[in-house]
Amino acid sequence: MWPRDAALLRDVGLVCLADGIVGVSFGAASVAGGLPWWVPVALSLLVFAGGSQIAAVGVVLGGGSPLAAVAAGAVLNTRLFPYGLAVADVVTSDEAGAGGATRGPRLRGAVGRWLVRLIGTHVITDESTAFALRQDDGTRRRAAFWTCGIALFVVWNVSVLLGVGLGSALHDTSAFGLDSTFPAVMLALALPTLTSRPIRVAAGAGAVIAVALTLVLPAGLPLLAALGGLGTRLPGWRRMLRRPPRPRGAESAGATVTEDELTAGGRR
Amino acid sequence: MMPMTAIGALGVLTYAFRLTGPLLRGRVTVPAAAERLFADAATVLLIALAATAALTAGHDFAGWARPAGVLVAGVLAARRAPFPVVVVAAAAVTALLRLAGVH
């Protein structure tokens, strides 16, 4: 399962380092904002999708309802559906092609196979999908996906725990500027996706709607209202729907997401 | 406050999004329009969240130190600075401004 591929290990290590810093700041800012320690910890274990965790906690810390927090987090995580299609072959690893069984996690029997699938499904992220799609043969795809997925899960949860400890230990957290890290992370995640004028217009409109309504509406609602900014994209989607469907290539990978789109989609 | 039921609900929804792809393996392709809709909705939401979290606290303006830190982070991110640098810069600028008496 573990590759002896130095370049892959180095890249995974760099991604882990970046996400670890985000994890520390997420844990610290969550408890510094007044949430109990188990909220960021449980989110990291059960949701394991950084952007949506930060969004959900951000909504709640802004005074929004848990329902609004769940809705915001869920919208962000819809992208995991096309990712799941793209890496389906490495998640459902055992019956996959030549050499597959030797490089997938070695758990035998029906129960073991299901366990591998369930764990593999949970570690589908921006990063593990991007690493998998970068490889060309099945064995390397599987190694890249699992190495990145498992390493990130461990690093993310450990770093959030560290952050929780750090946040609890600091007395005056506003002096350390931790409250700036949430919006900074979200901005850094979103900026690479602002690649065309229409999406910039939609995002700008959404931001104006959200900030204006925050001054008057209960927290959480303005955020969902921001999705109204998507209305500016309607003409573009209509054009796309009229276009004939794409030929079904890339059958083996079930790939509907290209690596370029993924990396443009940014980190978690 | 974020109750355990809300965390569980987000966990279940997220797992469902992850699981659908592998379950449908090879049987469907997502229409390009739907895929763009997911991606665009996520972008709009992230930017709106970043804006409200940077500019507001409760129903009021958050003060100058926080938006300034986020702005610096945004410029760094746009110039493709490494992720850790972006995050640390945001906190550092805000903290230094507060130290200097700007709130």
Average per-residue pLDDT for chain A? 81
CA distance B70 to chain A (A): 5
Give A19's contacts (C-beta < 8 A, 6+ positions apart).
A50, A127, A152, A155, A156, A159, A267, A268
Q: What is the mean pLDDT of residues A208-235?
A: 86
Q: Is A13 on the interface with B (CB under 8 A)?
A: no
Q: What is the pLDDT of residue A106?
A: 60
Contacting residues of A for B91, CB less than 8 Å apart: 25, 176-178, 180-181, 184
The least confident of A3-17, A58-72, A73-87 is A3-17
Q: What is the mean pLDDT of residues A111-138?
A: 89
Q: What is the mean pLDDT of residues B85-98?
A: 93
Contact A35 B1 (CB under 8 A): yes
Q: What is the mean pLDDT of residues A244-248?
A: 53
Q: What is the mean pLDDT of residues A30-39?
A: 93
- Distance, CA of A82 to CA of A146 (rounded, Å): 18
pLDDT value at A103 more than 60: no
Q: What is the pLDDT of residue A47?
A: 97
Contact criterion met (CB below 8 Å) for A70 and B13: yes
Sequence-distant contacts of B12-15: CB under 8 A, at least 24 apart: B13/A70, B13/A73, B13/A74, B13/A77, B14/A47, B14/A48, B14/A49, B14/A52, B14/A73, B14/A74, B14/A77, B14/A80, B15/A121, B15/A122
pLDDT value at B81 more than 60: yes
pLDDT value at A44 more than 90: yes
Q: What is the pLDDT of residue B3?
A: 93
Q: Which of A52, A94, A180 to mutate to test the interface with B (most CBs of B within 10 A)?
A: A180
pLDDT value at A247 more than 70: no
- Distance, CA of A19 to CA of A23 (rounded, Å): 6
Q: Which of A42-51, A55-64, A82-91 has the highest mean pLDDT?
A: A42-51
Helix count (H) and strand count (E) of chain B? 4, 2
- Distance, CA of B90 to CA of A178 (rounded, Å): 8
Q: What is the pLDDT of residue A98?
A: 38
pLDDT value at B103 more than 80: yes
Q: What is the pLDDT of residue A255?
A: 39
Average per-residue pLDDT for chain B? 90
pLDDT value at A45 more than 50: yes
Please report, for residues A78, A199, A264, B36, the alpha-carbon distance to residue B39 in angstroms, rounded to integers and kept in the order given: 8, 10, 10, 5
What's the DSSP call for residue B26?
T
pLDDT value at B26 more than 80: no
Contact A43 B7 (CB under 8 A): yes
Contacting residues of A for B79, CB less than 8 Å apart: none
CA distance A106 to chain B (A): 19
Which chain A residues in 109-168 lie under 8 Å from chain B, judged by CB atoms? 117, 120-122, 124
Contact B82 A18 (CB under 8 A): yes
Residues B13-25: pLDDT tens digits? 999 999 998 898 7
The interface predicted TM-score of the complex, written ipTM, equals 0.88
Residue A43: pLDDT band (50, 70, 90) is very high
What's the DSSP call for residue B25?
T
Q: What is the pLDDT of residue A164?
A: 96
Q: What is the mean pLDDT of residues B19-38?
A: 82
pLDDT value at A259 more than 70: no
Of A171 and A113, more confident: A113
Q: Which of B2, B18, B95 lies nearest to residue A84, judging by beta carbons?
A: B18
CA distance A5 to chain B (A): 23
Contacting residues of B for A35, CB less than 8 Å apart: 1-2
Q: Is A210 on the interface with B (CB under 8 A)?
A: yes
pLDDT value at B71 more than 90: yes
Q: What is the pLDDT of residue B65?
A: 96
pLDDT value at B40 more than 90: no
Smallest CA–CA distance from B43 into chain A, residue? A190
Q: What is the pLDDT of residue A82?
A: 84
